[in-house]
Amino acid sequence: MRKLLSFACVALIGCGGRVTLSTSTTSSSGAGGQTGGSTGVSSSSGGGASQHGDCASDADCAGKPCVALTPGGYRVCESAPPPAAGCGSVPGECCTTMDCMGPGNPGCYDDAALPLCGGVRRPPGNACIGDDCEEDADCGPQSICTPPRVLGRPNRACMAAFCHTDADCTRRLGGVCRPILNQCCSIPRGLACMYPGGCSGDDDCRPGDSSKVFDCMIDPSTGESACTQDFGCPP
């Protein structure tokens, strides 16, 4: 029986990831010794809010599309595993996308090439992966339906979003709306506002007390990133 899997990892605080996204390039000291910095490429959207991201155009992505996670929002280079090259090791699994039928335009992918967010990786084999959503309304509150083929996933998937563009980040000056990375998963925790002195990922959290390790988390009450004490990755 063919596997039909999805990655509707909407848990805003616990499911995030270290993917190929820019972190700070310049930094300023924040409270507790933590540092925060600028996002990567910035571009003007014709008089509106600036767009921040890993790319400004396809030319920055080695021939792949430069995709906005939200209209006018953070931009990333398309990044997703290719379809499976052949049959898996388990009888009955898909060999090609033609073997996958069902909602969400599923395709056949090698399990080993898909994102892993804690736990034990599934045994080697192929799986039919389809879209988890078609639009933001299909996801929970404060979530978006991401475009396909971004953040290492081949499908559209729900992701936490406390902001959509920089214009949503108004609690303090200098706020940008960007993905917040995490060492425990290859998928971002979600979109959140990062202000000067804040963090875009765990590497930005460097407290003065070296005996403590901090993670970059999203505060759901404010919708912004902040360094908090590390409780380790879930098993």
Each residue's pLDDT tens digit, 84-99:
988 877 788 899 999 9
At 86, list the tokens.
């052949």
pLDDT value at position 124? 76
Strands 126-129 and 4-5, bridge-based pairing: parallel
208's CB contacts (< 8 A; 6+ apart) are: 32, 33
pLDDT value at position 214? 80
Question: Averaged over 106-119, what is the pLDDT?
Answer: 81
The whole-angstrom separation of Cα 52 and Cα 22 is 10
Strand 190-194: give its sheet, edge to edge: 176-180, 190-194, 224-229, 214-219
pTM across the whole model: 0.75
Q: Reply yes or no on whether the pLDDT at 170 is more than 60.
A: yes
Least confident of 54-68, 143-157, 180-194: 180-194
Tens-digit pLDDT profile for residues 30-76: 333 333 444 455 544 433 345 679 999 999 999 899 999 999 999 99
